[in-house]
């Protein structure tokens, strides 16, 4: 299977390959759990060192919708179509040495988190309180997602 990175290469002048945060939000309780992969919470490539989260008001000239990235993630994770729901209302930007990187959001559509999927990709679902091992940028991204989802 081609790598997600290669399939999402951007032409010159556009942002670097986007990253995706994958979340499960329990419909009845509002419990939020993030898919944490072996290299962090950004599917499927970690951010380079020296990355910094841009201010929430930052708005580049190029806006991205997560639908294509979400479909690629479904295929890579072995999920059925519509196993992930893109959240077009959320976006964040990270300043990296290679340029701005958009961070987008998708939610698992099932009633329960797909624990078997997490296991297959050597990941696990974590709550925000279990994110201490992540970088400052990733923890701040999770905080933004959490605030976005719960208002």
Name the residue ranges covered by the structural domains of the chain.
20-150
Model's pTM, two decimal places?
0.86
pLDDT, tens digit (0-9, with 9 covering 90-100), for 52-76: 999 887 777 667 778 889 999 999 9
pLDDT at 125: 98
Task: Report the alpha-carbon distance of residue 55 to residue 69 in Å, rounded.
Answer: 23
Where does the pLDDT of residue 28 fall: very low under 50, low under 70, confident under 90, or very high at 90 and above? confident
- How buried is residue 40: exposed, middle or buried, by Cβ count under 10 Å (0-12/13-18/19+)? buried
Overall residue count recorded for the chain in this entry: 151
Asked if 141 contacts 53 with a C-beta cutoff of 8 angstroms, the reply is yes
**Token code pair at residue 135:** 């970088």
pLDDT, tens digit (0-9, with 9 covering 90-100), for 114-126: 999 999 999 999 9
CATH number assigned to the domain with residue range 20-150, chosen from the 4 options 3.10.450, 1.10.287, 3.90.79, 2.40.320: 3.90.79
Task: Report the alpha-carbon distance of residue 30 to residue 40 in Å, rounded.
Answer: 23
């Amino acid at each position: 299977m081609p790598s997600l990175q290669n399939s999402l290469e951007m032409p010159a002048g556009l942002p670097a390959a986007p990253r995706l945060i994958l979340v499960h939000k329990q419909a009845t309780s509002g419990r939020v759990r993030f898919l944490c992969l072996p290299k962090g919470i950004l599917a499927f490539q970690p951010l380079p060192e020296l990355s910094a989260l841009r201010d929430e008001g930052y708005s580049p000239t190029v806006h991205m919708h997560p639908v294509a990235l979400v479909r690629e993630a479904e295929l890579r994770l072995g999920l059925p179509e519509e196993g992930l729901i893109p959240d077009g209302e959320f976006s964040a930007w990270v300043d990296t040495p290679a340029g701005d990187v958009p961070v987008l959001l998708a939610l698992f559509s099932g009633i329960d988190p797909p624990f078997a999927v997490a296991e297959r990709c050597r990941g696990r679902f974590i709550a925000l309180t279990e994110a201490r091992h992540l970088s400052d940028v990733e923890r701040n991204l999770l905080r933004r997602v959490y605030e976005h989802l719960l208002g």
